[in-house]
């Protein structure tokens, strides 16, 4: 009993300080990171399901952050998400279709590396929307029941969830407070905070600042499963007479250089052929001279101002297709 | 299983420690053996069979060696060592060898290609085969009686705290402790829940906390800068490469010594005192001194089983140099099947040879500058030179290829001009000028990294009497409690949580 009391006495200040740090940092949290991933996905599904738009924007983080639907010249909603690839896009379209949401155009971001991975990082949020059929792609093939039980016994704790909890409860609040303390000690005007906003139109803004060095690695492998979903999306749209505009976002030169020689041109040819085969359009902004390194918030994503500029260009593209 | 994983910290360690104290002493080896098998199986369960092979071979060999005499005794030892080395060779070096033979064949115009096995290296194989080999060698030398209890011998190889990355224990040190933990037996082998109040538990927990601090707060934080730079060194200027190399010197030290603290701490909670592996390493005054402070259990293994049998230093200067180079070549190869590790090992061997060759000149310089009258300054200068040499060698250890290492070595001289250029630049351009602006690390995090890195080196300059935790135990209660809270809050608030493996797990 005495030992237990001493343990509790020792732990109490730790709990108190952790609570205090978290409470103090809480006001700084939204301006630095915006809403959390699950909240963003929940809001995104709720808003997309409400309908009332003619153009749906889908794709990965480049589109999620890079397309401002308000500037497309049509009623539009940005339903993209970080790390989305074609499997997620397909099931999202299916999800909306099953709920009777209709639109006449899909603006689909395509990326040279978007075919190269099958990301499960957001499945904790996606699983409740996209169902078992979506999750089946992530099940390990040919896993026997015994192997499954063994795996459960050997890995009973979700390490990723534990790490996320530690980050959310301890390290992120402490980092925010430390950064604020450094700013105060420097007696200089506070640095404009990183703006992190989820707009009502679905676009996510996370502005940092232009970076000069670009330690980037890109893989242009086309996984069969992603090719399959890519074609299913085009077929799905063709069957419903929904036009598809595939867009390659503006890229930094260093990113283009990170691909093996010739792969980008071959990829463009392949995308153009796929678009032609399914009555879609492919618009390539990868080498658009209107965008420089200063237009990027980090190694990959456009700044808010550059995103607005690109969105207007996309709007022009959409209008020219409509009037043609 | 990783020591910094939730599975270990929240489930495995508390449950195993509690069970250990709840069962009576004669049955404790069973608890530890089952727990150790589980600990290892969390990686790739099938590789427990590799460990089982090592255990069966060396357990049998130990008994047969003790029962034999003359050449038969030697033959059994040779067979045991060959079996261990064969396992190591197949899993660790086969692909390296076939790759090099294929490259060599291509060089002389042969179209000759050897198939690669592509097997994953069982975690810690180099550690437990070396520990097991130490057992048979010691039995052969008559310094250790053959263990007749298969369970205890299996535990000697599998004991979870030191299973995957050492310390590489000698049988004389570990086996008796597994039979009867001295830290507990000194207090009359208290069992049951009352045993949990033993001081060794508190000391063990403090050591583990210090280990977690070194791993999560220092090593993993520095890795945020080191990993991206070393994975693509061609994208960075010399100043960034210099900083990354300096950070890596601290990262690997804190990563490995942090692991060792956790291992020793976990063992200590069960009354087992594992060997020391580090002694204020970056306070070393010479390269020889460095090797008496860095990964002590491995360097003493190579000293006792390779260097001394080759003749050690009781031979001519040329033969001594040969012995040093062979030992360090093998030490480099032990770390990994790659030319970068071999280059790292050989470089350290060259340092030692150059140190002996220049000892006269260096002594004259010390006399000329009257440094012997200023021992603190002299010591600090020696430490700085050793740190610079060791850090330079780490480039080869960390680089992903010899070509990358050479690029870094040739780029670093430009760092001086880049750092001097900072003096003329606006402060907000510092990170851009150093080529570090592209990394997703905030300024205050950079500041923290530099403070931690300098702090580690400064801390090692103190005179080493005993491990920090034991030094701390002599302080007043308020100092001990404050230190514990400081470590806990640092781990909680400044730790990097991303389940990063320990660097030495790959060996």
Q: Residues B237-260: pLDDT tens digits? A: 888 899 999 999 999 999 999 999
**Where residue A55 sits, what CATH number does that domain have?**
3.40.50.1110
Report chain A residues whose CB lies below 8 A from the CB of B493.
21, 170-171, 173-174
A17 touching B, CB under 8 A?
A: yes
Q: How far is A197 from chain B (nearest CA, A)?
A: 19
- Domain encompassing residue A67: 35-145+193-323
A23 CB neighbour count, 10 Å cutoff = 10
CA distance B356 to B353: 5
Q: How far apart are CA B50 and CA B443, in angstroms?
A: 47
Determine contact: B498 vs chain A, CB below 8 A: yes
Evaluate if residue A212 carries a pLDDT over 50.
no
**Percent of chain A residues past pLDDT 90, beyond the cut:** 39
Could you list the active site residues of B?
Answer: 335
Distance from CA of B221 to the nearest CA of A (A): 12
CA distance, residue A17 to nearest chain B CA (Å)? 9
Stronger pLDDT, B48 or A293, i.e. the higher one = B48
Q: Is residue A60 in some structural domain?
A: yes
pLDDT for res A172: 82
B233 in A contact zone (CB under 8 Å) = no
At residue A140 the predicted structure's pLDDT band, cuts being 50, 70 and 90, is low
Q: Is the predicted pLDDT of residue B348 greater than 70, yes or no?
A: yes
**Which residues have a Cβ under 8 Å from the Cβ of A199 and sit 6 or more positions away?**
A68, A78, A205
Band the pLDDT of A77: cuts 50, 70, 90: very high
- State pLDDT tens for residues A183-210: 776 665 555 555 677 788 888 877 655 4
pLDDT at A155 > cutoff 90: no
Whole-number pLDDT of residue B384: 92
Would you place residue B105 in the very low, low, confident or very high pLDDT band (cuts 50, 70, 90)? confident
pLDDT in tens, B325-338: 999 999 999 998 88
In a domain? residue A204: yes
Is B363 in the A-facing interface, judged by CB distances under 8 Å?
Answer: no
In chain A, DSSP assigns E strands to 55-58, 76-78, 105-109, 195-198, 204-207, 243-248, 281-284
From B228, which residue of chain A is nearest by alpha-carbon distance?
A: A215
Residue spans per domain, chain B: 27-179, 196-274+433-507, 282-400
Averaged pLDDT for residues B105-134 = 80
> What's the whole-number mean pLDDT along residues A105-119?
90
Residue B135 has pLDDT above 90, yes or no: yes
pLDDT at B117: 67
Closest CA to A114 of A233, A248, A288, A272: A248
In a domain, A117, yes or no: yes
Task: Verify whether the Cβ–Cβ distance B497 to A211 is below 8 Å.
Answer: no
A143 interfaces chain B, CB cutoff of 8 Å:
no
**What's the pLDDT at B193?**
47
Q: What is the pLDDT of residue B507?
A: 66
Residue of B493, B495, B499 to mutate, testing the A interface (most A Cβ within 10 Å of its Cβ) = B493
pLDDT value at residue A214: 47
Angle among Cα B140, B143, B146 to the nearest 5 degrees reads 65
Interface test with A, best of B192, B438, B482 (most A CBs within 10 A): B438
Whether pLDDT at B190 is above 60: no
Number of domains chain A contains: 1
DSSP state of B206: H
Q: Is residue A29 part of a domain?
A: no
- The pLDDT value recorded for residue B136 is 95
Q: Would you call B496 an interface residue with chain A, using a CB distance cutoff of 8 Å? A: yes
pLDDT band at A306 (very low <50, low <70, confident <90, very high): very high
Residue A160: is its pLDDT beyond 90?
no
Sign of CA dihedral A197, A201, A202, A204: negative
Q: Which residue, among A52, A49, A110, A122, has the nearest Cα to A79 in the 3D structure? A: A49
CA distances from B175 to A275, A295, B153, B172, B418 (A): 70, 64, 8, 6, 55
Of B232, B437, B443, the CB nearest to A211: B437
End-to-end CA distance of chain A: 83
Separation between Cα atoms, residue A303 and residue A195, nearest integer Å: 11
pLDDT tens by residue, B202-240: 888 888 999 999 999 999 999 988 988 898 888 888 888
Q: How far apart are the first and last CA of chain B?
A: 15
Residues of B within 8 A of A170 (CB-CB) are 492-493, 495
Mean of pLDDT values over B270-278? 88
Interchain proximity A155–B42, CB inside 8 Å: yes
Contacts of A188 (CB under 8 A, 6+ apart): none
Tell me: the pLDDT tens digits for B299-320?
A: 999 999 999 999 988 889 999 9
Q: What's the average model confidence in pLDDT over A150-174?
A: 81
Domain membership flag for residue A221? yes
Residue B329 C-alpha from the chain's centroid: 17
d(CA A125, CA B116) in angstroms, rounded, equals 42
State the average pLDDT for chain A: 84
Q: What is the pLDDT of residue B198?
A: 64
Q: How high does pLDDT run on average in chain B?
A: 86
Distance CA A190, CA A98 (A): 48
Q: How confident is the model at residue B52 (pLDDT cuts 50, 70, 90)?
A: very high
In the predicted structure, residue B427 carries a pLDDT above the cut 60: no
Render pLDDT for B447-474 as a digit per residue (tens, 0 to 9). Answer: 888 888 888 888 877 766 566 767 777 7
3-state secondary structure (DSSP) of residue B42: coil
Looking at residue B467, its pLDDT comes to: 67
Nearest chain A residue (CA) to B231:
A215
pLDDT band at A211 (very low <50, low <70, confident <90, very high): very low
């Amino acid at each position: 009993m005495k030992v237990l009391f001493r343990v509790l006495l020792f732990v109490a200040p730790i709990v108190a300080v952790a609570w205090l740090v978290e409470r103090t940092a809480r006001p700084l949290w939204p301006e630095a990171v915006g809403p959390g991933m699950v909240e963003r996905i929940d809001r995104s599904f709720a808003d997309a399901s409400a309908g009332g738009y003619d153009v749906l924007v889908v794709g990965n983080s480049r589109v999620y952050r890079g397309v401002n639907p308000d500037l497309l010249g049509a009623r539009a909603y940005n339903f993209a998400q970080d790390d989305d690839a074609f499997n997620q896009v397909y099931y999202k379209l299916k999800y909306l279709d099953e709920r009777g949401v209709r639109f006449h155009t899909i603006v689909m971001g395509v990326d040279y590396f978007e075919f190269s991975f099958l990301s499960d990082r957001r499945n904790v949020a996606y699983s409740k929307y996209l169902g078992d059929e979506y999750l089946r792609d992530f099940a390990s093939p040919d896993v026997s029941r015994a192997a499954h039980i063994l795996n459960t016994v050997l890995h009973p704790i979700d390490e990723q969830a534990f790490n996320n909890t530690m980050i959310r409860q301890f390290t992120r609040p402490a980092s925010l407070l430390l950064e604020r303390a450094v700013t105060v000690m420097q007696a200089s005007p506070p640095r404009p905070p990183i703006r992190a906003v989820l707009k009502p139109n679905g676009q996510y803004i996370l502005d940092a600042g232009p970076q000069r060095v670009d330690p980037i690695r890109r893989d242009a492998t086309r996984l069969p499963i992603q090719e399959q979903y890519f074609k299913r999306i085009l077929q799905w749209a063709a069957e419903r007479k929904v036009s598809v505009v595939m867009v390659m976002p503006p890229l930094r030169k260093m990113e283009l250089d990170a691909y093996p020689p010739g792969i980008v041109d071959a990829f463009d040819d392949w995308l153009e052929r796929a678009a032609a085969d399914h009555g879609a359009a492919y618009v390539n902004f990868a080498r658009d001279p209107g965008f420089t390194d200063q237009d990027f918030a980090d190694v990959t994503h456009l700044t808010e101002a550059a995103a607005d500029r690109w969105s207007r260009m996309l709007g022009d593209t959409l209008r020219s297709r409509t009037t043609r | 299983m990783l020591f910094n994983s939730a599975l270990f910290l929240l489930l495995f360690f508390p449950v195993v420690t509690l069970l250990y104290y709840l069962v009576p002493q004669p049955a404790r080896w069973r608890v530890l053996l089952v727990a150790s098998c589980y600990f290892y199986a969390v990686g790739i369960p099938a590789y427990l069979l590799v460990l089982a092979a090592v255990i069966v071979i060396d357990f049998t060999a130990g008994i047969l060696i003790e029962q034999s005499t003359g050449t038969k005794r030697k033959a059994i030892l040779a067979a045991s060592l060959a079996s261990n080395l064969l396992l190591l060779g197949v899993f660790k070096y086969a692909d390296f060898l076939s790759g090099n033979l294929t490259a060599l064949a291509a060089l002389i115009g042969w179209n000759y290609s050897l198939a690669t096995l592509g097997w994953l290296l069982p975690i810690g194989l180099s550690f437990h085969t070396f520990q097991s080999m130490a057992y048979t060698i010691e039995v052969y030398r008559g310094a250790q009686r053959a263990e007749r209890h298969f369970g205890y011998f299996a535990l000697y190889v599998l004991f979870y705290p030191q299973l995957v990355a050492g310390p590489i224990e000698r049988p004389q040190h570990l086996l008796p402790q597994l039979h009867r933990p001295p830290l507990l037996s000194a207090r009359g082998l208290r069992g049951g829940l009352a045993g949990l109040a033993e001081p060794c538990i508190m000391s063990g927990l403090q050591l583990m906390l210090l280990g977690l601090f070194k791993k999560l707060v220092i090593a993993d934080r520095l890795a945020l800068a080191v990993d991206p730079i070393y994975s693509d060194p061609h994208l960075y200027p010399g100043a960034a490469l210099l900083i990354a190399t300096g950070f890596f010197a601290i990262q690997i030290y804190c990563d490995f010594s942090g692991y060792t603290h956790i291992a020793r701490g976990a063992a200590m909670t069960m009354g087992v005192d594992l060997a020391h592996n580090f002694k204020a390493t970056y306070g070393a005054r010479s390269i020889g001194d460095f090797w008496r402070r860095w990964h002590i259990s491995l360097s003493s293994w190579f000293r006792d089983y390779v260097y001394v049998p080759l003749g050690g230093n009781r031979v001519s200067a040329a033969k001594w140099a040969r012995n040093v180079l062979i030992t360090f070549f093998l030490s480099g190869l032990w770390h990994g099947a790659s030319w970068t590790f071999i280059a790292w090992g050989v470089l350290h061997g060259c340092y030692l040879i150059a140190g002996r060759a220049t000892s006269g000149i260096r002594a004259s310089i010390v006399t000329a500058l009257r440094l012997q009258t200023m021992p603190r300054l002299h010591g600090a200068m020696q430490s700085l030179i050793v740190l610079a040499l060791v850090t330079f060698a780490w480039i080869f250890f960390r680089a992903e290829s010899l070509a990358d290492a050479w690029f870094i070595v040739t780029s670093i001289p430009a760092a001086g001009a880049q750092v001097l250029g900072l003096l003329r630049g606006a402060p907000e351009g510092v990170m851009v000028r150093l080529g570090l602006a592209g990394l997703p690390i905030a300024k205050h995090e950079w500041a923290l990294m530099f403070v931690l890195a300098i702090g580690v080196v400064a801390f090692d300059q103190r005179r080493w009497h005993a491990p920090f935790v034991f030094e701390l135990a002599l302080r007043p209660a308020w100092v001990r409690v404050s230190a514990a809270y400081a470590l806990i809050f640092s781990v909680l608030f400044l730790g990097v949580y991303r389940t990063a493996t320990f660097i030495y797990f790959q060996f």
